[in-house]
């Protein structure tokens, strides 16, 4: 009498384990060192269709439907099964309470906020004890064509002394320490980073570092140091010159 019901439970459990463990295991095999997971909302959708599919499969005719429903009718309809009925009701109630608790229990994770990858800079900023108008600020070394290569090379020296540990020797964000940060260091080779920005933006971001980010840069704030404490204004401008020269990108201009 219980055969169909046990079969349904086993099928649902097998498909659930495939989703919960099988897919991440396959992902780990294909991409070593990772353990992908199926998002919770997607899991719920998949489980719903699995349960529905299994029930449809096991009740494809009237005889199968009756066989699957017999144990349920026996437990809830037979007066002699009162003790078993109370146990089943208690288990279902406890399971429902556990699911509810998991959805409403307090979390110690940082609250979710909208985060802008390239947060809007302030119109002005103070660094090295003096103000800068970021709306009009330009790289003073970019127009020095005669010394462009020299200045870019000097910027590269500064970069490899201070920045490549995180941003990488190829400027792709894959430095020695990159895996220890969230978010990971910027990939300057990607067209979605410095190619979309003005040099004044980089000057502000590098000079003020992670602590200089506005609220919309949260909840994951950059771990970049406040480089104005360690580098001069000229060194930062030369680093910026090097970044664009090395990657082949051109900075966005005002206007």
In a domain, 160, yes or no: yes
* Nearest residue to 111 (alpha-carbon basis) of 215, 224, 184, 223: 215
Q: How many domains does the chain have?
A: 2
Residue 74 lies in a domain: yes
Flag whether 33 is in a domain.
yes
234 part of a folded domain = yes
Q: Which of 76, 104, 132 is the C-terminal boundary of a domain? A: 104
Mean pLDDT for 200-204 is: 95
In a domain, 65, yes or no: yes
In terms of domains, do 84 and 164 share one? no
Closest CA to 231 of 177, 176, 154, 131: 154
Whether residues 143 and 243 share a domain: the answer is yes
- Structural domain span for residue 79: 3-104
Are residues 69 and 147 located together in one domain of the fold?
no
> Are residues 129 and 81 located together in one domain of the fold?
no
Q: Distance between CA 127 and CA 182 in Å, rounded?
A: 26
What CATH number corresponds to the domain at position 141?
1.10.760
pLDDT of residue 239: 97
Answer with the residue of higher pLDDT: 49 or 66.
49
Q: Are residues 214 and 145 in the same domain?
A: yes
Specify whether 152 is located in the same domain as 233. yes
128 and 170 within one domain: yes
Query: Model confidence over 143-168: pLDDT tens digits?
Result: 999 999 999 999 999 999 999 999 99
Q: Which among 74, 104, 134 is the end of a domain?
A: 104
183 and 79 in one domain? no
191, 135: one domain: yes
R_g over Cα of the chain: 30
- Where helices occur in the chain by DSSP H, the ranges are 3-17, 23-30, 40-58, 62-77, 82-104, 148-162, 164-167, 199-208, 233-247
Residues 23 and 53 in one domain: yes
Give the SS3 label for residue 252.
strand
Please identify, among 75, 104, 133, the residue that sits at the C-terminal boundary of a domain.
104
**255 pLDDT tier (thresholds 50, 70, 90):** low
Q: Does residue 100 sit in the same domain as residue 128?
A: no
Assess if residue 188 is contained within a domain. Answer: yes
Whether 204 is covered by a domain: the verdict is yes
Residues 83 and 158 in one domain: no
Q: Which of 221, 228, 233 is nearest to 207 (CA)?
A: 228
Query: Mind listing the pLDDT tens digit for each residue in 77-122?
Result: 888 888 888 998 899 899 889 888 887 887 665 554 555 667 788 8
């Amino acid at each position: 009498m219980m055969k169909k019901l046990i079969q349904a439970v086993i099928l649902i459990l097998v498909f659930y384990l495939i989703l919960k463990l099988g897919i991440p295991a396959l992902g780990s095999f294909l991409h070593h060192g990772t353990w992908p997971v199926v998002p919770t909302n997607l899991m719920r959708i998949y489980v719903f269709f699995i349960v529905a599919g299994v029930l449809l499969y096991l009740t494809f005719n009237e005889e199968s439907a009756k066989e699957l429903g017999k144990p349920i009718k026996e437990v809830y309809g037979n007066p002699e099964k009162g003790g078993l009925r109370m146990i089943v009701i208690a288990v279902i109630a406890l399971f429902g309470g556990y699911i509810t608790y998991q959805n409403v229990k307090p979390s110690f994770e940082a609250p979710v906020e909208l985060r802008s990858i390239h947060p809007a800079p302030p119109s002005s900023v103070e660094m090295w004890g003096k103000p800068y108008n970021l709306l009009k600020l330009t790289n003073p070394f970019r127009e020095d064509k005669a010394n462009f290569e020299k200045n870019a090379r000097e910027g590269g020296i500064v970069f490899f002394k201070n920045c490549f540990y995180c941003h990488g020797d190829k400027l792709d964000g894959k430095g020695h320490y990159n895996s220890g940060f969230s978010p990971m260091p910027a990939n300057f080779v990607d067209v979605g980073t410095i190619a979309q920005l003005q040099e004044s933006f980089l000057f502000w971001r590098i000079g003020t570092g992670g602590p200089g980010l506005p609220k919309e840069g949260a909840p994951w704030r950059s771990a970049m140091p406040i480089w104005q404490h360690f580098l001069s204004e000229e060194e930062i401008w030369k680093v910026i010159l090097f970044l664009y020269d090395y990657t082949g990108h051109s900075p966005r201009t005002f206007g």
